[in-house]
């Protein structure tokens, strides 16, 4: 049974259908995010770092928001495009240049004691611009408003999550944050699974309807 599961999983991944496995998608996102946190706060910034530029709280918020934005963008890509298309190489290269340029700008436009933060803050802002551009690009190429709707819902849901963290009294502050950091991407992953299956079923139905007509011709 386990062998069959991994066989089906491998087939889905090769076919560009990772969204059919929301728990796995969420676990992969949480693992990558945790690795990023570990590298940033253990190797790039040590425990004695002053955080006197903008503040650690704002840094963590922007880091989390950026990671989540990439998660939504990647899921949207696999929902509408599914596989990696080399025809998208030009837009990917342009966005990569934007990110690298932003990092250099952040490095050279702050004082020497805050260059690390400058690089990250510039990267965060450029990432939000890049994900917005890519979602708009997907909306135009795929002729769907879904990417734009997802961007708006993502911002609104993030604002709601922040409100819950600061207003709820059901849990402590730390507990509320930890719960939302797991529940929010999991809910998004299950939604993308539902939407993927709906779109796939609709396309399959249209294919079956058009098949007899093609045969008659």
Query: What is the rounded distance in angstroms from the CA atom of residue 56 to the CA atom of residue 51?
Result: 6
Q: How many CA atoms lie within 13 A of 7 on its CB side?
A: 4
Query: What is the rounded distance in angstroms from the CA atom of residue 106 to the CA atom of residue 53?
Result: 13
- Judge whether 126 and 97 are in contact, CB under 8 Å: no
- Judge whether 121 and 54 are in contact, CB under 8 Å: yes
- Judge whether 76 and 145 are in contact, CB under 8 Å: no
- Phi first, then psi, for residue 60 (nearest 5°) are -65, -40
Q: Which residues contact 185 (CB under 8 A, 6 or more apart)?
A: 26, 29, 30, 68, 71
Instruction: Provide the residue-wise pLDDT of the chain in tens; the chain has 217 residues.
Output: 677 777 888 888 888 889 999 999 999 999 999 999 999 998 898 778 888 777 888 898 899 999 999 999 999 999 998 776 778 999 999 999 999 999 999 999 888 888 899 999 999 999 999 999 999 999 999 899 999 999 999 999 888 877 777 776 555 556 677 888 899 999 999 999 999 999 888 876 666 566 554 444 4
The pLDDT assigned to 51 comes to: 81
Give the pTM.
0.87
The pLDDT assigned to 93 comes to: 95
Tokens of 122: 């510039």
The pLDDT assigned to 168 comes to: 65
**Torsional sign, CA 102, 105, 109, 111:** positive
Tokens of 91: 């837009």
Tokens of 60: 């963590």
Query: What is the rounded distance in angstroms from the CA atom of residue 120 to the CA atom of residue 56?
Result: 12
């Amino acid at each position: 049974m386990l062998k069959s599961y991994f066989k089906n999983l491998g087939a889905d991944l090769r076919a560009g259908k990772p969204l059919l496995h929301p728990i796995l998608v969420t676990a992969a996102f949480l693992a990558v995010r945790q690795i990023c946190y570990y590298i940033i706060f253990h190797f790039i910034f040590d425990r004695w770092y002053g955080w006197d530029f903008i503040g650690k709280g704002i840094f963590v918020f922007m880091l989390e928001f950026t990671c989540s934005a990439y998660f939504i963008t990647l899921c949207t890509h696999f929902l509408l495009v599914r596989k990696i298309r080399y025809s998208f190489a030009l837009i990917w290269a342009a966005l990569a240049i934007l990110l690298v340029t932003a990092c250099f700008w952040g490095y050279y436009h702050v004082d020497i004691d805050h260059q690390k933060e400058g690089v990250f803050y510039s990267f965060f802002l450029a990432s939000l611009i890049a994900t917005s551009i890519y979602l708009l690009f997907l909306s135009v190429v795929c002729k769907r408003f879904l990417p734009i709707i997802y961007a708006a819902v993502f911002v609104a849901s993030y604002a709601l999550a922040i409100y819950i963290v600061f207003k709820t009294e059901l849990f402590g502050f730390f507990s509320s944050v930890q719960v939302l950091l797991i529940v929010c991407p999991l809910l998004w992953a299950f939604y993308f699974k539902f939407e993927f299956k709906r779109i796939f079923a609709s396309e399959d139905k249209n294919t079956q309807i058009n098949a007899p007509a093609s045969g008659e011709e």
